[in-house]
Structure 1
Amino acid sequence: IIATVGNGMVIYIFTCTKNLRTPSNLLVVNLAFSDFCLMFFMCPPMVWNCLHETWMFGPFACELYAMIGSLFGVTSIWTMVFIALDRYNVIVKGLSAKPMTTKLALFQIFCIYLHGLFWTLAPMLGWSRYVPEANMTACGTDYFTQTWHSRTYIMVYAFFAYFVPLLVIFYAYYFIVKAVASHEKSMRDQAKKMNVSSLRSGDQNSTSAEFKLAKVALMTISLWFMAWTPYLVINFSGIFQLLTID
């Protein structure tokens, strides 16, 4: 409920506030929309199934449930990738950076959903499949069937939907944090030379805001990966026969 309301408020605020309708914030709105859909469509069925201790909605609904989870899960993580790259472009490259445009932001969002649809539809076309998970309260990719299709799908899916984004985000934020630290150090050194406590002024508020946004985004991404890593571990434990069903 908190996630649904929170992301709904983000979408409302960013779309209704004129000053926030920037190309970069289109990615933020898309992230909020993706997370909103993930919570809105996934949580109610899971709660109902938990109350009945089994999947209650039939095979087709199971596949649809897993598809929605896969689509918006991939969409969220790759939106975070492009947000990180946008912050890298603004903070690290600075004035030499190519500015984000509405057309570019929309193209990136289109590519994100196209990428998500590929991984979402693959199990429906024979590369692995969607099945009820071990606890029978949710559905996802088949990580217990020891076939070439199931194993390769999960391994390749994990590579493009987890490891590659993780490396790109770490790369971007490593240089963002490095640039922030260098900037702060130079500001302190210059302030000491001028015998003042700080060089910050109203003209630098926008730059300071960029740094704060980067720090907030880094924390958000860290929490997101902490939430999804256990699911990756479960999938890998299944395909490598580290888990059994009693």
Structure 2
Amino acid sequence: MNVSALLTPVNHFLRVDHLQLHGENDLLGSKIDEDFMDYVHPHWRQFPAPQSYQHFLLGIVYAVILITGMLGNLLVIITFFTTKRLQTSSNAFVANLAIFDMLMMSKLPLFVMNSIVEGQIFGKIGCDIFGLVGSYSGIGAAITNAAIAYDRYRTIAFPLDGRLGMKAAICIIIFTWIWATPFSILPLLEIWSRYTPEGYLTTCSFDYMTEGKATQLFVITIFIWSYLFPLLTIALFYSKILSHVREHEKMLKEQAKRMNVKSLSQGDEKSAEIRIAKVAISIVFLFICGWTPYALVALIGGFGNRSFLTPTFSMIPAVACKTVACIDPWIYAINHPRFRAEIQNKVPWLCFIGQETKSSDNKSAVSDATDVKSEAA
């Protein structure tokens, strides 16, 4: 590969062919350097090149996601690390999720530049960086959602002695980064699979298009590792949470009947924990919406009918997963009273976050108090 071309990506902007309108015979990949074409699967090269306005529109969409996502995730991270009363084990997992989502946002400027040149502005190096960051952030977010589900289960099912301490939470957070490493590094080093352009050839992911058993084995393995296992873990713990809540409510009704009263209060602490669990379920639902399309595209590429994988169709999952990484922090900040209050104090001009209600303050205070007691224990 021409090293000088890699080190001077501005040359891509100055090339005349990038400024010309598409002709009728232009095919996808015509703006990719010759020495990088081996990484572009022939499937993509049979399609007409997207019009410039399509790249422009996608670039605008990603720019909006970048600004919104960076703001939201930065607010969650800064609020967590600068507010001592929020530094609990449960909130540590949410902060870790925000860090992974920030990692996802960090590669969007590269996509915007790729959209401008309608190709890979930094060639193979840029593609590898894009794929590596996307793999770490995607797999890391998935397993962090599973950790959040596990933490919520222990908190609600065993409120007295089941809460995770901060040391245990940190160990699990380190584990999430270790979990994301194998299937991020192996394609980077091309030991197993590799990072290749997809869709409009302005994004990169692991290779799910190359024919052969090795590709199919990699696709099914990473599908289980980064999607199916976290999803089943999440489903298991939230089903246990719902089962526990139903049993608790049934017990209260029976007790109320024996005492000849209409109902027994669950208490603010229990209500607060269930409320936070609903927030976590919302985040998990977003994860499913964001990563199921990508999982389906990879499975179709490896095992299915590839005629469905048009460049435009293949760009939809990429937009979906980045949109979820953008929405995650806003869902948590809006639904967590204490986080919302702190964010409102730090950035009062962010008026759409909303004001605290007295009820929410009470619930948050009870939840935070129990968190503090558990951390001290």
Report the CA distance between 1:198 and its aligned residue: 5.6
Name the CA distance, whole Å, in 1 between partners of 2:86 and 2:188: 39
Aligned position for 1:18: 84
* Aligned counterpart in structure 2 of residue 7 of structure 1, from 73, 78, 98: 73
**Aligned-pair CA distance for 1:57:** 2.1
Which has the greater radius of gyration? 2
The Cα RMSD (Å) is 2.0
Mean alpha-carbon deviation: is it higher for 223-232 or for 185-194? Answer: 185-194
CA distance in structure 1 between the aligned counterparts of 2:281 and 2:76, rounded to whole angstroms: 18
Percent identical among aligned pairs is 34
Matched, 1:129 2:194: yes
How much has 1:222 moved relative to structure 2?
1.0
Distance 1:223 1:230 in 2: 12
Q: Please give the residue correspondences for 1:1-246 in structure 2 after superposition, counting only pairs within 5 Å.
A: 1-39=67-105, 41-97=106-162, 99-125=163-189, 126-188=191-253, 190=255, 193=259, 195=261, 199-200=265-266, 204-244=267-307
Distance 1:191 1:10 in 2: 41
CA contact (8 A) 1:191 1:199 kept: no
Deviations 1:3-45 (A, max 9, x none): 2211111111111111111122211111111111211x22222
Cα distance in 1 for residues equivalent to 2:304 and 2:247: 47
| Alpha-carbon spacing, 1:130–1:103, altered in 2? closer, same or farther (3 Å) | same
What is the alpha-carbon distance in structure 1 between the residues aligned to residue 264 and residue 298 of structure 2? 51
Single out whichever of 100-109 and 155-164 deviates more from structure 2: 100-109
| TM-score, structure 2 as length reference | 0.60
Report the residue type matching 1:113 in the other structure: W
Q: Is the 8 A contact 2:131 2:205 kept in 1?
A: yes
Flag structure 1 segments of 5+ consecutive residues without an equivalent.
Answer: none
Ranges in structure 2 where 5+ consecutive residues have no aligned partner: 1-66, 311-377
Q: TM-score, normalised by structure 1?
A: 0.90
User: How many aligned residue pairs are there?
Assistant: 241
Aligned equivalents of 1:168, 1:197: Cα separation in 2: 34
Distance 2:260 2:201 in 1: 67
Post-superposition offset of 1:188 = 4.9
